[in-house]
Amino acid sequence: MSLEGRLEDLSLPDIFQIISLSKRSGVLTLIRKEGTGRLVFNQGQMVHASSDNKSRLGYTLVRKGIITNEDLENGLRIQKAKGSQKTLGTILLGMNVMSREVLEKEIKAHIVDVVRDLLQWEHGSFHFELSGVSEEEVVLKAGLGTEFLLLEATRLQDEDTHMHRQALEKTPSHPTAQPTTPGQKFQAPLQEAAAGFKEDPGTVQSKGTPADKPTVVRKDLQLLTRMISELSGPSSNSEITLLILRFASEIMNRVLIFLTRKEDILGLGQSGIVLPGGNVNERIRNIRIPLTEESVFETVLEKKAPYKGALPKNKWNQFLVEQLGGEWPSEVYVTPLMSEGRVIAVLYGDNLHQQDAIGETEGLEAFIKVAGFAFGRAVLERRLQEGKS
């Protein structure tokens, strides 16, 4: 899987979620005018981080008095002379100048510091390249969960803001000054991202649970891991639409995709819809719902966020139900498909006719975010081909 785009379109917490939920290994590179950042993941866990805005780990170890300047120079010399893929941390362990326990503690603190800085980047490009992580490349075998990193970044930002506020309150010349720490404007987005971020609960052993008891299997995450790589192949929007329908139909009994237009949405494709008489696909393509009046679709497009719950009673939701057979679903799931910052399609799903509760959807949401980039790439490639002809 290769994932690339702009941070303006897909935030770093969203990218973290995609990589974490799909348990991918590889390198995420962030680039902007002021510098670059590099994050290495192993099975969805972060094991290495660096940024042009932050000191290298070796210099941090020297500054803290954990190793000497001579130790650092010797380690760098060994790394350069052998052309080794080994990290400096692995080399320092081999030199017996520090313990693994101390080094792992410092690496974790360094990763948190780098991620905290990168989370403040609002502009720039990103590229995630799928690749294996060798034993020589990392010291941390388990790595750090991205949910922990988001929460820790939020906590540290809160501490900095609090300390800055206290300092201003103690300054007589600024009795009413408000805190203006460099990263303060990113505090609320960080808190929101950390609160909404969900990692795979199937990997967490609950308290009091026997170690040999089978963990809960998340179907949406299994599908994400298996299908996300398929998005690199399709070259047309119709193929991408079929992949989305295929994924969603594994989670819900009935699913539809609507194409968004300026003032309405129009039926595009379906899976699991059974209607008496006539061609189902043709009937779906004739469903049109205005976006100027209240409906579940109008709400989702306005908020640009998924909706999961009871279908509200109103005119256009009633119209949709009638078009799909007349039975009112106990629960629906509706989510936008984004490309280049705008909603290009909407996915609708329910579990009629069994009326079962809709299961976990984080994996589907992560897949749809990647599909949005695939849509954008397909459009760009089509435009380039048209320009050549």
Query: Is the confidence at residue 175, as pLDDT, over 80?
Result: no
- Quick: pLDDT tens for 182-211: 444 444 444 454 455 554 444 333 334 444
C-beta separation of 146 from 46 below 8 A: yes
- Quick: pLDDT tens for 235-252: 577 788 888 898 999 899
Length of the chain, please?
A: 389
- Report the pLDDT value the prediction gives residue 296, as an integer from 0 to 100: 96
Average pLDDT, the chain: 80
- Report the pLDDT value the prediction gives residue 177, as an integer from 0 to 100: 44
191-194 long-range contacts (CB < 8 A, ≥24 apart) are 191/154, 193/11, 193/13, 193/119, 193/150, 194/13, 194/147, 194/150, 194/151, 194/153, 194/154
Query: Is the confidence at residue 218, as pLDDT, over 80?
Result: no
Q: Provide the pLDDT confidence category of residue 267 given band limits of 50, 70 and 90.
A: very high
Query: Is the confidence at residue 179, as pLDDT, over 90?
Result: no
Q: Which segments of the chain belong to CATH 3.30.450.40?
A: 219-388
- Report the pLDDT value the prediction gives residue 202, as an integer from 0 to 100: 42
Q: Which CATH topology does 219-388 take?
A: Beta-Lactamase (3.30.450)
Tokens of 177: 């000054």
Query: Is the confidence at residue 298, as pLDDT, over 90?
Result: yes
Query: Is the confidence at residue 389, as pLDDT, over 90?
Result: no
Q: Provide the pLDDT confidence category of residue 387 given band limits of 50, 70 and 90.
A: low
Distance CA 144, CA 154 (A): 16
Residue at 215: amino acid letter = T
- Quick: pLDDT tens for 23-40: 888 899 999 988 899 999
- Quick: pLDDT tens for 148-174: 888 887 787 667 666 667 666 666 554
- Residue 179 makes CB contacts below 8 A (sequence gap 6+) with 161, 164, 165, 168
If you average pLDDT over residues 275-288, what whole number do you get? 88
- Report the pLDDT value the prediction gives residue 229, as an integer from 0 to 100: 67
Query: Is the confidence at residue 343, as pLDDT, over 80?
Result: yes
Of 145, 136, 254, 123, give the one whose Cα is nearest residue 199.
145
If you average pLDDT over residues 261-280, what whole number do you get? 89
pLDDT > 90: what percent of the chain? Answer: 32
CA dihedral 43, 149, 53, 30 (to 10 degrees): 40
Distance CA 149, CA 113 (A): 9
Q: 53 — alpha (psi -120 to 50), left (phi > 0) or beta?
A: alpha
